[in-house]
A and B are shown apart, each in its own frame.
Chain A
């Protein structure tokens, strides 16, 4: 990955031109550019807050800051994409898209790719960990099975 140096707001806008950046989510993308996955967290009650909000939905504290997550989670639900949204696109090898429930909090889910795993081997509640893949000269988060560990429930 390129070294972007200090990543100011303008650089984040340049790196992610098709993302709707706001004052509430820009820290997430600034961190992605540094190969870190961060989620907003309430400094008052500890609740993880996603999507990115400036205020805690539980205790209404505005003391909300991005914090790096452990990178561990499990597959809550997923589907295999044989087609892009373009109805004219050809059928292709399926692309898994998975809602990964992060270990940090019940219901805290991050949508991502599952890699280093055959699509037919993905199971519900399968344990996964964060990894990074390069797409379009940028690194993006993805999740992969944890070697030696299967799912803690049948898929």
Chain B
């Protein structure tokens, strides 16, 4: 076993979400502040108790965004001993590890996402969204005029991986279809979801082709939204209003792929496999004990890759496995007859939050506070968020 500094000593005590919408006409910062205020109020703490912030984005100084520099001033938080920006699933792990290490006692995570101008004609007609792209910063040139750099931080290699996966394992699109239908079924029961209509397997196969073989229902839905979480020590959490949801173990992941994603490693060597292995080397909770499973669904192939990476089935067998674990009446997955998957609808139905809403849903389920959508007796949740190519997370949460 590798060292596990979490081991239930750190807990999520606050969760806050902004509204989700296709066009909320608000800044990243505005959405982030709404989620942050809700998370801090949900935690039942004074804002000055926050001494660590993980903001959104890849650079600390981004204006108009919800980075730590903007957030701390805008929330009126006086002193932090730890600050950082992050995105996708790793932001949560950064903040949890800052609390575990003692760099701060109570960390606020704020993650904001917007419908970017490249995502549709209507988004591109909005001058505010065009400005987001013009002044956005992912730390270098992405593509530009050199076609050979087109797959630097691109979604297109995921489509190529779908094709390669089906070729290598002589399989079809069943696995992707079941994942898409599952998420849309759950989304239809989530009032916050942008996509309220469930879809059928037939709808999935008939949907618009985007990057062959990737179809529109394989892709998460771009929205304007924000999620925020408050993490502190489990000791402190016991004095706060909600049942603590503890970080049992976590891992990040990196490979030698590099920033040109055509240099990706083999299917079972990508970053999700590394993160999953890192988690299993640290977690005393094993896969059969997982009550809720939250595989990132930026594209359906993310979720299928994670499903195989954590070990639910052998590589290439996701289609058969999901078919065998399909609840036809409810149109949802029940892995090994029980474990439900992405109970809020994920990015495919609730909307694209870079996976941050997976953490929010997991915490609310483990608190037992999801009302009509509550999964009875859920005590453990496995969350895998991020990219095949860079910094995915693997996190085991548990409640007592």
User: Are B131 and A55 touching (Cβ within 8 A)?
Assistant: no
User: Are A23 and B37 touching (Cβ within 8 A)?
Assistant: no
Chain B contacts of A53 at CB under 8 A?
29, 33, 70, 73-74
Bitwise interface map of B from 43 to 75 toward A, beta carbon under 8 Å scored 1, else 0: 000000000000000000001100000100111
User: Are B74 and A57 touching (Cβ within 8 A)?
Assistant: yes
Is B266 at the interface (CB under 8 A from chain A)?
A: no
Bitwise interface map of A from 3 to 26 toward B, beta carbon under 8 Å scored 1, else 0: 000000110010000001111111
Chain A contacts of B37 at CB under 8 A?
55, 60
Is B283 at the interface (CB under 8 A from chain A)?
A: no
B interface majority secondary structure:
helix
User: Are A54 and B135 touching (Cβ within 8 A)?
Assistant: no
Task: Provide the bound-state CA to CA distance between A9 and B131, in Å.
Answer: 12
Task: Provide the bound-state CA to CA distance between A31 and B33, in Å.
Answer: 25
Chain A contacts of B26 at CB under 8 A?
23, 54
Q: Please judge, given known A-B contacts A53-B74, A55-B74, whether A22 and B127 are in contact too, CB under 8 Å.
A: no
Chain A contacts of B75 at CB under 8 A?
57, 60
Is B371 at the interface (CB under 8 A from chain A)?
A: no
CB distance from B130 to the nearest CB of A (A): 8
Chain A contacts of B34 at CB under 8 A?
55
Using CB atoms, name the residue of chain A closest to B31: A54
Task: Provide the bound-state CA to CA distance between A22 and B32, in Å.
Answer: 14
Using CB atoms, name the residue of chain A closest to B25: A23
User: Are A9 and B127 touching (Cβ within 8 A)?
Assistant: yes
Using CB atoms, name the residue of chain A closest to B37: A60
Task: Provide the bound-state CA to CA distance between A79 and B127, in Å.
Answer: 35
Number of interface residues of B (CB under 8 A): 21
Chain B contacts of A58 at CB under 8 A?
76
Chain B contacts of A60 at CB under 8 A?
37, 75-76
CB distance from B349 to the nearest CB of A (A): 26
Q: Which range contains the number of A residues in contact with the other chain?
A: 10 to 19
CB distance from B69 to the nearest CB of A (A): 10
Of A10, A13, A22, A57, the contact of B64 (CB 8 Å cutoff): A22
CB distance from B57 to the nearest CB of A (A): 13
Task: Provide the bound-state CA to CA distance between A60 and B48, in Å.
Answer: 13
Using CB atoms, name the residue of chain A closest to B127: A13
Using CB atoms, name the residue of chain B closest to A25: B64
User: Are A22 and B29 touching (Cβ within 8 A)?
Assistant: yes
Task: Provide the bound-state CA to CA distance between A25 and B25, in Å.
Answer: 13
Using CB atoms, name the residue of chain A closest to B134: A20
User: Are A21 and B33 touching (Cβ within 8 A)?
Assistant: no
User: Are A54 and B27 touching (Cβ within 8 A)?
Assistant: yes
Chain B contacts of A20 at CB under 8 A?
63-64, 131, 134-135
Residues from 205 to 261 in B contacting A, C-beta threshold 8 Å: none
Chain B contacts of A23 at CB under 8 A?
25-27, 30, 128
User: Are B63 and A54 touching (Cβ within 8 A)?
Assistant: no
Task: Provide the bound-state CA to CA distance between A9 and B70, in Å.
Answer: 24
CB distance from A122 to the nearest CB of B (A): 28
Chain B contacts of A57 at CB under 8 A?
73-76
Of B27, B127, B134, the contact of A10 (CB 8 Å cutoff): B127
Chain A contacts of B27 at CB under 8 A?
22-24, 54
Task: Provide the bound-state CA to CA distance between A22 and B25, in Å.
Answer: 10
Using CB atoms, name the residue of chain B closest to A49: B74
User: Are B73 and A21 touching (Cβ within 8 A)?
Assistant: no
A–B Cβ pairs within 8 angstroms, 28 of them:
A10-B127, A20-B63, A20-B64, A20-B134, A21-B128, A22-B29, A22-B63, A22-B128, A23-B25, A23-B26, A24-B27, A24-B29, A24-B30, A51-B73, A53-B33, A53-B70, A53-B73, A53-B74, A54-B29, A54-B33, A55-B30, A55-B37, A55-B74, A57-B73, A57-B76, A58-B76, A60-B37, A60-B76
The 5 closest A-B pairs by CB, nearest first: A57-B76, A22-B64, A54-B30, A20-B135, A22-B27
Contact surface of A with B, Cβ cutoff 8 Å: 9-10, 13, 20-26, 51, 53-55, 57-58, 60
- Other CB < 8 Å A-B pairs besides A20-B64, A53-B33, A60-B76, 11 of them? A20-B135, A21-B131, A22-B27, A22-B28, A22-B64, A23-B26, A24-B27, A54-B27, A54-B33, A55-B37, A55-B74
